[in-house]
Amino acid sequence: MILLKCVLAGMLALLIAAIVLPMSVCVYLTWTVHPGRNGAAIGFDPVSMMRHSPSVWIIAVLVFGLGFYMQYRRLKAQQRSSAGN
């Protein structure tokens, strides 16, 4: 049961990161990237980025692992404190 809760926590962390990270990247790029000469627009394709960038997959695995580990650690600490009482 502990592992199921940890997997769900990891998936929730991944879902939150999938919403927050692209929004923060868009805000960052809005402030830092300026249009080229003659008003040329700069755009990016998030679907293509997901398919061809291994760094995005590495970040996703790390976020899932972090959520999983934090929940596992919290549940094990609760289990130890309840066993000690």
**How high is the pLDDT of residue 36?**
66
Find, among 54, 62, 64, 53, the residue nearest to 9 by Cα: 64
Q: 5 — phi, psi (to 5°)?
A: -65, -40
**How high is the pLDDT of residue 71?**
95
All structural domains of the chain with their residue ranges: 52-80
* Region of poorest pLDDT, from 27-31, 55-59, 60-64, 73-77: 27-31
Tokens 């596992």 locate to: 72
**Which structure tokens are listed for 46?**
């998030």
d(CA 57, CA 85): 43
**How high is the pLDDT of residue 42?**
67
pLDDT average, residue stretch 39-46: 70
> Which pTM does this prediction carry?
0.71
Whats the size of the chain, residue-wise?
A: 85
